[in-house]
Structure 1
Amino acid sequence: MYVIYYSIFLRWATDFNILRNLYDLGVLVDLMKLQIVSGDTGLEMHFTKASRQRATYSSPRNPNKLVLVSLCGKVVRDKIVEAVRKASVYSVLADETVDISGKDQLSIGVRFCDKQRIVHEKFLGYTKLSAMDSKTIAGAINSFLKEKDHDYSKCVGQGYDFCFTMAGKVNGVQGILRNISTKALFFIVHAIDSI
């Protein structure tokens, strides 16, 4: 959870094909060792017992690594969604992109204030796009937010780039979603780096 929350990459030394020394096992293993040294007897017992059974789930070659990362990601995302639910208002942020395999996708994030009036901007996830037109993109955002059970009556902003597909007042994404949430004003976002 710590590594995901603070955006620390889960890399093992072998992932980089570098072995600086025999003790360099990567961020995740180092954090687990730190946790054990700090007195986490449950984790220490797991590694002591599991290492005899050869099932610690800490190997870079472990196929369960992606499952563990996905589960941790879900926990973090659920905490963000819960924080957004507690906020009085929020804005949706989105940017269309193409992944490494050439498939269209949409990155979706939220911006909200907590009870201490601290502004948070958080990445929620990616969703695949079947097309790059405004109806498809607006439908993807709508479906994504409904899936996460966001209350549209609290949505007061939309942040996208200024391309016509996103920014069009009538047929653009902002126009379509404004029909769903009339309070959701459109703001131009030049770069959504932090989500």
Structure 2
Amino acid sequence: MFGYRSHVPKARLTTERLVVRLVHARDAWRLADYYAENRQFLKPWEPVRDESHCYPSGWQPRLAMIEELHRQGSAFYFALLDPDEHEIRGVANFSNVVRGSFHACYLGYSLGEKWQGQGIMFEALTSAIRYMQRTQHIHRIMANYMPHNQRSGALLARLGFKKEGYAHDYLLINGVWRDHVLTALTTPSWVPGR
């Protein structure tokens, strides 16, 4: 009789080789598999992760929180999946979304080891960034990388991110404070959301 309308944004983007969509509660198994399979590979590039990242039971409460962030419009967590949506190949997260006079967010991402060097992250981020700029009306996307992560630096440059600075002891990565190169991408033809 009365319908329930969810205010969680729907975003399902398709590229040549991927489905790029917001994660949801049914992704607990896929995310656990992704982090378990790539645990050692991602370790040098990420904060220390506890065991719960490798189990669906650890992802269930995390995904409930992420869906609330989606609902609030304060973060957008994307999964990069095969066309049939069976396997997560990577993730791209737009977090700390601030509106007002800033309209900005931070971008973080990772790609599974077996998918490296194939242009998959460029393909996914091109689509996800377009969504953030056109649908979420974000003017400034900031992304930072460790100086020795030349692949990430090259990817961001290819996407149009410009270097803006250097931060010492910026993030706690794998248990050690690491320097980061600060970059940003702005939307030249930005228009406010309706």
Fold shared per TM-score above 0.5:
no
Structure showing the higher helix proportion among its residues: 1
Structure showing the higher strand proportion among its residues: 2
